[in-house]
């Protein structure tokens, strides 16, 4: 853990010249304001003011002053900036002028939900995230083309995998920034890649996801590539997910683990799982928050469409991977990297906590390939489907009192309004597919 004094020392030792005060808007886009390092004390004393009126999901114009409260634990130096302009960043909570947390600030929303973990007598909620991405070739102006950088497949090597050099440099940079990189590899689709980093407390993993996406995009540029986290960039091949691995710890012990329980899971884990499955539809609205997200959530591409869980097979919404003991975890497989990580994690946690508090026991695991089951077999096993569109998911979110309460009606209303605009824009946009399909009708 790093405190404000450590930050002062690090800034001096490293000869840092600029500080990025970084935060996330209501949809999860990273935003920042840069200040010269001479103002570091102001920053650490929460004196840096922003105008929230032009930030998506923040405040209306008449009441827009807000203050940034940096978290010293998120101190990172950007390795890609030249030493003469050495630049560090801290991720901030957003507060009102009276010092209270702003109710629309995603990071503060997750913090509030994490308080409930303590209230229940646990101490740590851990998240390990696996964001996948595609590398596309850039044109001479640095803009993305529609050509992926290779036609490699899962775990391929050079010369099939043409993303190796870029991926390794990205891993180097992430390591310099303090990430504990666990593995990197080519993913299943052409041009698709993954770099795994170690799990951490939920708040810091959400911060790390934000830094991760920034780094992936920035380093890709140096290789004449454009990185994208859009869930389904190409029709007909696998899309990019962001699995969330979840576990609860108490006094350093993983309380999801119980060698005598069903599949090695404790009752607490089974209740948490029960809650997540119960609220799965509402979670989808924030874990899969774009029109494009729903083009990934279709059968046949390793992405879930059914609300169920298993240990071995990868078709259901939640998988319990093989490791036990400290590694015991629930892997929520629906989310994608367009999710606002603070909000998606807060929603999943709220669902899990509801499961624990109301003892919502998980149904029996489904070890068969669900895609091969008939509709009657699925019905008999109580397997429901995830929402099929953003519009359905937004309705499911608004109809779910537990998740709406956890995220707060301010956030849910703003989010719904922004997403409705997106849905309307798409609805009125004529696509290439329609031209091909209807031109001669």
Catalytic residue among 83, 314, 417, 424: 314
* 116 burial type by CB count under 10 A (0-12 exposed, 13-18 middle, 19+ buried): middle
Tell me which residue of 395, 283, 403 sits closest to 334, measured CA to CA. 283
**Known catalytic residue at 333:** yes
Tell me which of ligand ADP, Mg ion, none is bound by residue 128, counting a contact when its beta carbon lies within the kind-specific cut-off of 5 to 8 angstroms: ligand ADP
Q: Quick one: 331 or 395, whose CB is closer to ligand ADP?
A: 331
Among 87, 170, 247, 310, binds ligand ADP (CB under 6 A): 247
20, 186, 243, 281: residue in contact with Mg ion (rule CB under 5 A): 243
Query: In terms of Cα–Cα distance, which of 285, 316, 295, 298 is closest to 392?
Result: 285
Residue with smaller CB distance to ligand ADP, 52 or 131: 131
- Residue 113 binding Mg ion, by CB under 5 A: no
Tally of CB atoms within 10 A around 171: 19
Residue 279 in contact with Mg ion, rule: CB under 5 A? no
How many residues sit in the footprint of ligand ADP (CB under 6 A)?
A: 16
194 is an active site residue: yes
Q: Select from Mg ion, ligand ADP, none the partner in contact with residue 200, using the beta carbon and a kind-dependent cut-off of 5 to 8 Å.
A: none
Interface with ligand ADP (CB under 6 A), residue from 76, 167, 296, 329: 329
Residue 51 is a catalytic residue: yes
Answer yes or no whether residue 196 interacts with Mg ion by CB under 5 A.
no
Closer Cβ to ligand ADP, 240 or 245, answer by number: 245
Q: With binding defined as CB under 6 A, does residue 193 bind ligand ADP? A: no
Interaction between residue 284 and ligand ADP (CB under 6 A)? no
* Positions marked catalytic: 51, 130, 132, 187, 194, 243, 314, 331, 333
Interface residues toward Mg ion, by CB under 5 A: 130, 194, 243
């Amino acid at each position: 853990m790093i405190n404000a004094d450590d930050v002062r020392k690090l800034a001096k030792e490293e000869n840092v010249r600029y500080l990025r005060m970084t935060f996330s808007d209501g949809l999860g886009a990273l935003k920042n304001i840069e200040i010269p390092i001479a103002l570091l004390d102001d920053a650490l004393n929460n004196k840096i003011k922003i105008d929230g009126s032009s930030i998506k999901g923040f405040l209306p114009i008449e009441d827009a002053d807000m203050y940034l409260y940096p978290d010293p634990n998120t101190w990172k130096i950007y390795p890609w900036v030249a030493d003469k302009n050495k630049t560090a960043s801290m991720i901030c909570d957003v507060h009102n002028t009276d010092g209270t947390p702003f109710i629309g600030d995603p990071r503060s929303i997750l913090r509030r939900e994490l308080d409930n973990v303590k209230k229940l007598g646990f101490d740590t909620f851990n998240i390990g995230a696996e964001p996948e991405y595609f590398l596309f070739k850039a044109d001479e102006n640095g803009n993305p083309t529609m050509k992926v950088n290779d036609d490699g497949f899962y775990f391929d090597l050079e010369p099939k995998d043409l993303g190796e050099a870029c991926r390794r440099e990205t891993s180097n940079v992430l390591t310099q920034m303090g990430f504990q990189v666990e593995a990197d590899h080519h993913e299943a689709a052409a041009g698709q890649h993954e770099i795994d980093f170690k799990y951490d407390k939920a708040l810091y993993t959400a911060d790390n996801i934000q830094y991760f996406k920034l780094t992936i995009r920035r380093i890709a540029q140096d290789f004449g590539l454009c990185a994208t986290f859009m869930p389904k960039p190409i029709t007909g091949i696998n899309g990019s997910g962001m699995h969330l691995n979840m576990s609860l710890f108490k006094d350093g012990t993983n309380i999801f683990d119980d060698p005598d329980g069903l599949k090695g899971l404790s009752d607490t884990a089974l209740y948490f799982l029960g809650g997540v499955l119960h609220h799965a539809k509402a979670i989808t609205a924030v874990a899969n928050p774009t029109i494009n997200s729903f083009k990934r959530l279709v059968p046949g591409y390793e992405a879930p469409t059914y609300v169920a869980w298993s240990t071995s097979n990868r078709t259901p919404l939640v998988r319990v991977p093989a490791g036990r003991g400290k590694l015991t975890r629930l892997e929520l497989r629906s989310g994608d990297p367009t999710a606002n990580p603070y909000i998606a994690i807060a929603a999943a946690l709220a669902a899990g906590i509801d499961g624990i508090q109301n003892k919502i026991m998980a149904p029996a695991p489904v070890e068969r390939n669900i895609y091969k089951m008939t509709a009657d077999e699925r019905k008999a096993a109580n397997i429901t489907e995830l929402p099929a569109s953003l519009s359905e998911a937004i309705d499911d979110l608004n109809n779910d009192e537990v998740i709406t309460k956890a995220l707060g009606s301010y956030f849910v209303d703003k989010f719904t309004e922004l997403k409705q605009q997106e849905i309307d824009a798409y609805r009125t946009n004529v696509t290439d597919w329609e031209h091909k399909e209807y031109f001669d009708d």
